[in-house]
Structure 1
Amino acid sequence: MDLRSHPVLQAELGVWCGEELVDPSHAILLLGVPAEAEIEHIEATVETVKVLGRVRVRSTKPGPTQNTMSVLCECRENIDVTRLPTTLKPSGGDQTWEIVAGKRPDPTAFSTKLSDFLLSEGKSMSDLQSMFTSLSTSATSPESIIRAMGEVLEKSAKQSTDSSSYRRLRVFSGISPTPVGEETVEHWLEQAQLMISECECSEKEKRRRIMESLRGAAFEMIKAVRLSNPDASSKEYVDAIESAFGSSESGEDLYFAFRMLRQQTGELLSDFLRRMEMTLSQVVKRGGLAHSHMNRARVEQLIRGAVQSDIMLLQLRLRERKEDPPTFLTLLNEIREAEEIEAARHKIDASVKQVKFQSEGSTSPSVVQELKAEICELKARLGEVSKEPTLPTKLSEDKKKTLTKCSDNGGESEMQFLKQQVEQLQQQITVMKVGKSTENAPENVSVKSQSVMSRDDFFCYRCGEDGHLSAKCQAAENPSQVI
């Protein structure tokens, strides 16, 4: 008998697909499967039918005969009844498995559209019938029934939108340090708690999403929870992961760590604020601080810990706003705007101004004249020091040759020669002054005493006065004056 299109079995397949949230166009029902058959053996056997593609067993229930079971399988490929065999014989067995597939629905029929809608919302025809039964037993008007149907459809549409757009949880195994591609325990807990509170899918779907994201030790922890309590909720799963792999610090410890945060060298004020917010959220979550005090605590710690941004704190006037502190997003936006203005100002100040250099070989005549005038003045001073009536105005033969050579090489070399001559004349005047003072000094005075020294050059470390040394001091000691 061809069971692929049996009406009763097809109806059972449709109801079962609705309960397990499986698309009927990708599902088949196996009958006569031995009760002791392994899941891997069933999947491998069904995958021998190439038109089905990859196959996964979604649910099992006792079969119509003893020692058999019915198996619901989900296939990757669309079910084509014309290419699907009626029976399947596993390797190494004498029994034959019957295959039941859903009928091809008319896409234009109302019943087909209603079935597809209920399937997409995770509902079945039995749920719809029970709702109508409850409405009919109560004394309600047709208008109330229509209104209740509208509310159910609106809620179902919202559930469909939220469920389809939710991103899967990333993998977490509980291994430390966290391997590449996996999530840390803090980030995984945040995502899982957000999914539980915001996603309006069924409790069974929430547990499935949590379990499919766990590996290794974390998955073993959930298996232990299910063994001790098969009806555990998704929140109990997340609480078990947090107690096993999360931080054991109390709210008071986290609040103390929050108060010890400081801005690091080179760290932007906005980055420091975001780092503070991560710790502050953990403090509130653990009960270390009331949620209503978050804004004030955030501003106080920002003033206390931002040791590298005092000028920016003054610009934001946070000290004056402590009584009415801004929210996190408002404060972050203000800080980022101030940082952008500061960065633009530094960029303008750091712009390089072009300087026009004078080309080589083009020496200004006024500079040469100034150097020559300075040489004449130095020569006159040298004549006064040496007590000579006049200083020879002619240069030595070597200097004349050098000057002539420099003049031939250009104005730049001449200017360099004049500068050297000025330096030589200054050194000569200094030497002659020192020699003259040496000649006028007494013979018994040492060379060291010939240098001009004033009374201010001596200091007494006994009485603290200037003008003499402590070896010749007769006054009383005065340490405070010395200091």
Structure 2
Amino acid sequence: MSDTVEVTTTSVPTTNYPPASFFMDIGKLVESVRKMSSPSVNYGYRKLRIFSGVQPVPPGEEEYETWMEQAMQALEEWDVPEAQKKQRITESLKGVAAEAIRNLKFSQESCTAYDYLRMLQDEFGRTEKATDLIFLFEHMFQRENEQLSEYIRRLNKMLYQIVLKKGIEARDMDQVRMKQILRGALSSDPIWIQLKTLQGGTSLQYSDLIKMVREEEAILEEKKKGSGFSFAAEVRTLNVSNGNSEVDQLKAQVSQLMQMLTLLSAGVKSPLEKVTSEPVPESTTQVVPIKKPSNICYNCGGVGHYRNTCPSPSNARGSYRPAGNYRGPQ
């Protein structure tokens, strides 16, 4: 009888470790929870400048429109809870502006950061209604010699006012802005033509739109500078070549007119033979002088004899006086 030994092998289980992305996700989750649990911690955000609503604006403070534009942009960028947004806005206010927010809190228990800005808009902003601002916005057109980028900035300022007045929603700003640009910009602007031909009528965001427009304006400015010198030289050449002949012709015409006026004032009936530049036949230019008779009778006025040999009876003195400076016998 033979002894048999049975050997059994046990498999060691292998451990599957999670990938590195798992730990990165866990780290992000912990960071977001930490931010939510401690909203009062300052994470290095750029504070808004002080606004008090006092006129004239004290040194170190912002005017209302400038402050409001910065506040609107900050609300879109701050990735913090609503309570912290309101705190950041409140810490940039003082004086009359801070009192306006305090009154809002008393009258409205649950209010948002946008409600703060709307309250400041009612207190210090434009007094027009939302419909009036929309009307003004739709009638804002690009001025002559105004760059398209400047026109877009003017539109954007008005858009912020309309959003604060609840005339449009903030998510519709890009579409409304692009629509007004296509309608109000100068059709002769080459950048307007490019915006007009965008595929599908795409409404660009403000950052992409202003970047594109400013780059195109810079290209056009460089082309203008590059072609300015040759164009000016060409204009000067044309003036020199054509100007002398025209000036000479004008001088000749003025000289002829002066001669004609001189001859007319002297009583000459036909001055053309002296002022015309073309040769005139000699027969037409010769003037036959009329010789006045010298033997005129001062008694009867006849010609061919004198008074002392006049066959007519003697007249009274002064009965006949010829034309001229004759004063009678001395």
> Is the counterpart of residue 276 in structure 1 residue 155 in structure 2?
yes
> Is the counterpart of residue 339 in structure 1 residue 222 in structure 2?
no
1:248 paired residue among 119, 127, 141? 127
Q: CA offsets, 1:149-179, max 9 Å, x none?
A: 9955542158689832112221112134544
Structure 2 CA distance for partners of 1:338 and 1:250, relative to 1, 3 Å: same
Structure 2 CA distance for partners of 1:156 and 1:176, relative to 1, 3 Å: same
In structure 2, what is the equivalent of residue 307 of structure 1?
Answer: 186
CA distance in 2, matches of 1:289, 1:234: 18
Question: Does the CA-based 8 Å contact 1:172-1:182 persist in structure 2?
Answer: yes
Q: For residue 257 of structure 1, report the CA deviation from its aligned partner.
A: 1.0
CA distance in 1, matches of 2:125, 2:109: 23
CA distance in 1, matches of 2:112, 2:222: 50
1:221 paired residue among 73, 76, 100? 100
Question: Does the CA-based 8 Å contact 1:258-1:276 persist in structure 2?
Answer: yes
> Is the counterpart of residue 325 in structure 1 residue 202 in structure 2?
yes
CA distance in 2, matches of 1:437, 1:219: 102
What TM-score comes out, normalization by structure 1 length?
Answer: 0.37
1:164 paired residue among 5, 21, 43? 43
Q: For residue 431 of structure 1, report the CA deviation from its aligned partner.
A: 8.9
In structure 1, what is the equivalent of residue 286 of structure 2?
Answer: 439
Structure 2 CA distance for partners of 1:232 and 1:264, relative to 1, 3 Å: same
Structure 2 CA distance for partners of 1:267 and 1:208, relative to 1, 3 Å: same
Determine helix, strand or coil for the equivalent of 2:201: coil
In structure 2, what is the equivalent of residue 28 of structure 1?
Answer: none
Q: For residue 292 of structure 1, report the CA deviation from its aligned partner.
A: 6.4
Q: CA offsets, 1:323-370, max 9 Å, x none?
A: 522313443333233222221221221236999xxxxxxxxxxxxxxx
Determine helix, strand or coil for the equivalent of 2:229: coil
1:365-384 equivalences in 2 (<5 Å): none
Q: For residue 255 of structure 1, report the CA deviation from its aligned partner.
A: 1.5
In structure 2, what is the equivalent of residue 288 of structure 1?
Answer: 167
**Amino acid in structure 2 at the alignment position of 1:342:** L
Structure 2 CA distance for partners of 1:441 and 1:266, relative to 1, 3 Å: farther
What TM-score comes out, normalization by structure 2 length?
Answer: 0.51
Structure 2 CA distance for partners of 1:181 and 1:435, relative to 1, 3 Å: farther
1:32-431 equivalences in 2 (<5 Å): 151=29, 154-156=32-34, 163-192=42-71, 198=78, 200=80, 203=83, 209-225=88-104, 228=106, 235=113, 237-289=116-168, 294-307=173-186, 309-314=188-193, 316=194, 318=196, 320-321=197-198, 323-328=200-205, 329-351=207-229, 430=277
**Amino acid in structure 2 at the alignment position of 1:262:** F
CA distance in 2, matches of 1:196, 1:313: 31
**Amino acid in structure 1 at the alignment position of 2:80:** E
Question: Does the CA-based 8 Å contact 1:162-1:200 persist in structure 2?
Answer: no
Q: For residue 262 of structure 1, report the CA deviation from its aligned partner.
A: 1.6
Q: For residue 300 of structure 1, report the CA deviation from its aligned partner.
A: 3.6
CA distance in 2, matches of 1:261, 1:247: 17
**Amino acid in structure 1 at the alignment position of 2:202:** P
Give the stretch that moved more between structures: 285-294 or 296-305.
Answer: 285-294
In structure 2, what is the equivalent of residue 404 of structure 1?
Answer: none
CA distance in 2, matches of 1:201, 1:335: 35
**Amino acid in structure 1 at the alignment position of 2:177:** R
Structure 2 CA distance for partners of 1:435 and 1:307, relative to 1, 3 Å: farther
Structure 2 CA distance for partners of 1:196 and 1:350, relative to 1, 3 Å: closer
What is the RMSD of the two structures over their aligned residues, measured on CA atoms? 4.6
**How many positions carry a matched residue from both structures?**
222
Determine helix, strand or coil for the equivalent of 2:215: helix
CA distance in 2, matches of 1:163, 1:192: 17
Q: Any stretches of 5+ residues in structure 1 without a counterpart?
A: 1-146, 356-426, 444-483
Question: Does the CA-based 8 Å contact 1:170-1:182 persist in structure 2?
Answer: yes
Q: For residue 272 of structure 1, report the CA deviation from its aligned partner.
A: 1.3
CA distance in 2, matches of 1:202, 1:330: 28
CA distance in 2, matches of 1:216, 1:262: 38
CA distance in 2, matches of 1:282, 1:313: 25
